[in-house]
Amino acid sequence: MRVLLIAPDQRDLNTVPEIRIITQKHHVTLLNGVVTAEDVYAACRIIRFQVIHFATHSNAELVALSGVETLAADDIAQLDRMTGAECIVFNSCLSGKLASYCVAHGASYCIYSNVNLPDNDAWKFPAAFYDALSNGHSRDVVGSFAVADSGSGDYGLAVSLAIIQRMADSLADLRTKLEYALAHPAGDTRIGVSVHTLTTVGILNGGFLALILYLLFVQH
């Protein structure tokens, strides 16, 4: 997987463990040291990345690069469209608003944090997430996020409406097949629920899955 890893030097951040973990697992273009907005735009013009990963400071409005350089939400959404990334990872503090803006403007998935992440532990979620992406069990973003999520509430996953609709369509198809199966003898060859469909359903977690099932089975 091609990853653009943006990790400008920050005096109070130690991004070395995070950089090592990601570069061991994936094909990484690393922007560290002094990083400017021009550097990031240049990388996205040249290479198509599947993931854009920020390991830096952020707030609700921007991510920090070097010196006074920053990237605003609109910049990040534009970079995502330029390079065709599937996912943006904000391993940075208070980045939920940035993630919401990006999925509303074309990004498929954004991982974010709405808390102040402790520097000493900030590498742990990326370690689990990128390990899951690289293994044979959870190659998709949602499944890998579910594997990496500790349930602490430190991280969240923002998903575009288009992706949610596709998930809902998969569940609607599954509902139709299950209803048919209940009405017909076991072993009827006209009914088949694929492993892929079950996996798609299985990777949805807790409240979101409950909401979709409610809408499908109760409201119809």
Domain CATH number, residue 13: 3.40.50.1460
Better pLDDT: 72 or 140:
72
Predicted confidence band of residue 194 (pLDDT cuts 50, 70, 90): very low
Question: In the chain, how many domains are there?
Answer: 2
Percent of the chain exceeding pLDDT 70 equals 74
- Pick from 59, 10, 4, 8: nearest CA to 26: 4
What pLDDT, on a 0 to 100 scale, did the predictor assign at position 62? 96
Q: Which of 114, 130, 159 is the last residue of a domain?
A: 159
pLDDT beyond 90 at 205: no
Q: Are residues 177 and 145 located together in one domain of the fold? A: no
- Torsion of the alpha carbons at 64, 35, 122 and 20, rounded to the nearest 10: 170
Q: Are 55 and 82 in contact (CB under 8 A)?
A: no
User: H or E segment at 28?
Assistant: strand 27-33
What residues are paired with 87 via a beta bridge?
51, 109
Angstrom distance (rounded) from CA 158 to CA 97: 10
Threshold 0.85, pTM exceeds? no
Angstrom distance (rounded) from CA 110 to CA 97: 11
What pLDDT, on a 0 to 100 scale, did the predictor assign at position 166? 67
pLDDT beyond 70 at 197: no
Cβ count near 133 (within 10 Å): 24
Q: Are residues 182 and 150 located together in one domain of the fold? A: no
Angstrom distance (rounded) from CA 137 to CA 144: 9
51-54 and 70-72 beta bridge pairing: unpaired
The domain containing residue 183 runs over which residues? 162-217
Q: 45-49: long-range contacts at Cβ-Cβ below 8 A with a sequence spacing of 24 or more?
A: 45/82, 47/2, 47/4, 47/83, 48/2, 48/83, 48/84, 49/2, 49/3, 49/4, 49/83, 49/84, 49/85
19-33, 37-51, 127-141, 142-156, range with the lowest pLDDT: 127-141
Predicted confidence band of residue 184 (pLDDT cuts 50, 70, 90): low
What pLDDT, on a 0 to 100 scale, did the predictor assign at position 80? 96
Predicted confidence band of residue 49 (pLDDT cuts 50, 70, 90): very high
Q: Are residues 101 and 198 located together in one domain of the fold? A: no
